[in-house]
Structure 1
Amino acid sequence: MEAQTQSEKINGEFIHMVFFWLKNPDSESDRAAFKNALTKFINTNSQVVSSHIGEPAATNRPVIDSSYTFSLVVTFPDLATHDAYQSDPTHLLFIEEAQTLWEKVRVYDSLAD
């Protein structure tokens, strides 16, 4: 097996990471409704370059916070595209449809050097 010499760069210079804590994380119907709304949103938004919808991995180390219910990681080519995404009708519709399901949201944004 040949050693990998360079890791593949993430596609998009601006990374938007969102973590959601649902009000009723043990409710299968709430989880399904939230995931459906999130998936519909990401599949219809034109600004997103790449995306990942996930749930906490089964990892257990002191530095890991796995208290969230769902995560969303999306990339954009630049800050301006991210800013347009914030007011895009698909984003606003997702918030309208899903905000009653979450109790907390945390966002971490990162811009490549």
Structure 2
Amino acid sequence: MARLAHHVFFILKDRSQANIDSLIADCKTYLDKHDGVVDFSVGSRVKDLNREVNGDFDVSLHVIFQDRATHDVYQTAPRHLEFIERQKDNWASVQVLDSNLA
């Protein structure tokens, strides 16, 4: 069974360091340690890497799930939904990229 990589890139309405730090803290509190998570990382963009291929974002979240089923449970988990409610008004945009890992 393939692991599933869940990558999320956030651009904030207010791109201040305080708001970036708040989003990162909430990611760590509400999105880590769910059943089926085999790897978790979150951080801010390296602003001095400005190559044409570098996308614009403030915070990136990367969660590796043991399989699709645990990812699907995570999507409706109470802590995940609470995270969305706490932070959604701060987002200018969110891009989600999911992939199966070989």
- After TM superposition, the score normalised by the length of structure 1 is 0.79
- Pick one of 73, 82, 93 that aligns with 1:84: 73
Are 1:63 and 2:53 counterparts? yes
Identity of aligned residues (%): 34
Unaligned runs of 5+ in 2: none
SS of residue paired to 1:49 = strand
Shift in alpha-carbon separation, 1:101–1:37, aligned structure 2, 3 A: same
Are 1:97 and 2:86 counterparts? yes
How many pairs were matched up?
100
Shift in alpha-carbon separation, 1:44–1:77, aligned structure 2, 3 A: closer
Unaligned runs of 5+ in 1: 1-11
| Structure 1 segments of 4+ aligned residues over 6 angstroms from their partners | none
How far is 1:112 from its partner? 1.9
How far is 1:44 from its partner? 4.7
How far is 1:43 from its partner? 3.6
How far is 1:32 from its partner? 2.8
Instruction: Name the one with the larger strand percent.
Output: 2
Shift in alpha-carbon separation, 1:22–1:83, aligned structure 2, 3 A: same
Please give the alpha-carbon distance, in whole angstroms, between the structure 1 residues aligned to 2:61 and 2:100.
Answer: 16
- After TM superposition, the score normalised by the length of structure 2 is 0.87
Contact 1:52 1:73 in 2 (8 A): yes
SS of residue paired to 1:72 = strand
Tell me the alpha carbon deviations over residues 23-49 of structure 1, each in whole angstroms, 9 at most, x when there is no partner: 1002x3322322221111134533322
Which residues in structure 2 correspond to 1:31-42 (within 5 Å)? 31-42=20-31
Which has the greater radius of gyration? 1
> Looking at both structures, which has the greater relative contact order when contacts are Cα pairs under 8 Å and sequence separation is at least 6?
2
